[in-house]
Amino acid sequence: MKTVIKSLAALFSILLLATVLSACSSDPSTSNIFTSSTVVNRTMVIQSGTEPGKTDWPQFSPADITIPAGATVKLTIISYDNGTAPLPTGSPFGHVWGGDSTFGLVQGGTEISDGKPLTELPNSQVSHTFTVPGLLINAVIPAVPNGATTTTVVYTFRVMKKGIYEWLCAAPCGSGSNGMGGAMQTFGWMRGLVKVV
Ligand SMILES: [Cu+2]
């Protein structure tokens, strides 16, 4: 009989623990936030019009990424695109953004481009951007330099709130006379999702 009571007590504790744990995870925005020492690596590749019939459609692949809230994310963007898509004069998207202090959604937000820190690229030299308006994140991707095959950007950041955020490329790299068509309008190409879980 004692054994049965002990077993029941153990079962009860497990159920209680499970209830507490599920209660903790019921607020998706603040629970299970990782610390900055948790580092995750993600890689996106920018291909330049490799799909048949879509030769003027550059593409981020994968277009959607999933990251843990609070973890330090090293996002490596490897571009094969040697073309520029100059931003209009006065556009803010040549600047690297991050570390939003107003809302506290993002920490960090620093960029290393081909091994060197980058805070701003002249608008005329921008090839693509990785821009998350909802998080005030903007990484800038230069064109592949002459004689090289790729250019590599590493953007390091933390997102402190769970959610699904859209990203887009702000450089007019798509089709049409203004460069805003085709890939620029299409999820899976120059738009996608950042899922913070
Ligand atoms: Cu682009």
Closest by CA to 76, choosing from 107, 53, 45, 31, is 45
On whether the CB atoms of residues 153 and 139 are closer than 8 A, the answer is yes
Binned at pLDDT 50, 70 and 90, residue 52 comes out as confident
Flag whether 151 is in a domain: yes
CA distance 84 to 131: 17
The CATH number that applies at residue 90 is 2.60.40.420
Residue 2 within any structural domain of the chain: no
Q: Distance, CA 81 to ligand 1 centroid (Å)?
A: 9
Residue 103 Cα to ligand 1 middle (Å): 27
Strand intervals (E) in the chain: 39-48, 58-61, 65-67, 72-79, 106-113, 116-118, 126-132, 137-142, 151-159, 163-168, 191-196
Asked if the structure places residue 9 within a domain, the reply is no
Query: Ligand 1 centroid to 184 CA: how many Å?
Result: 7
Structure tokens at 93: 């998207």
Give the model's pLDDT for residue 20. Answer: 39
- Tokens standing for residue 128: 């693509």
Are residues 156 and 73 in contact, defined by beta-carbon separation less than 8 angstroms? yes
Predicted pLDDT of residue 55? 85
Domain region containing 168: 31-196
The tens digit of pLDDT for each residue in 132-156 reads 999 999 999 999 999 999 999 999 9
C-alpha 173 – ligand 1 centre gap (Å): 5
66 alpha carbon to ligand 1 midpoint, in Å? 20
The pLDDT tens digits for 75-133 are 999 999 999 999 999 999 999 998 766 778 999 999 999 999 999 999 999 999 999 99
- 13 in a structural domain: no
Q: Count up the domains in the chain and report the number.
A: 1
175 Cα–ligand 1 center, Å: 11
- Asked, for residue 186, whether it belongs to a domain, the answer is yes
CA of 190 to the centre of ligand 1 (A): 6
In a domain? residue 4: no
**Domain presence at residue 46:** yes
Within 13 Å, how many C-alpha atoms sit on residue 52's CB side?
Answer: 0
159: pLDDT confidence band, cut at 50, 70 and 90? very high
Q: Is residue 109 part of a domain?
A: yes
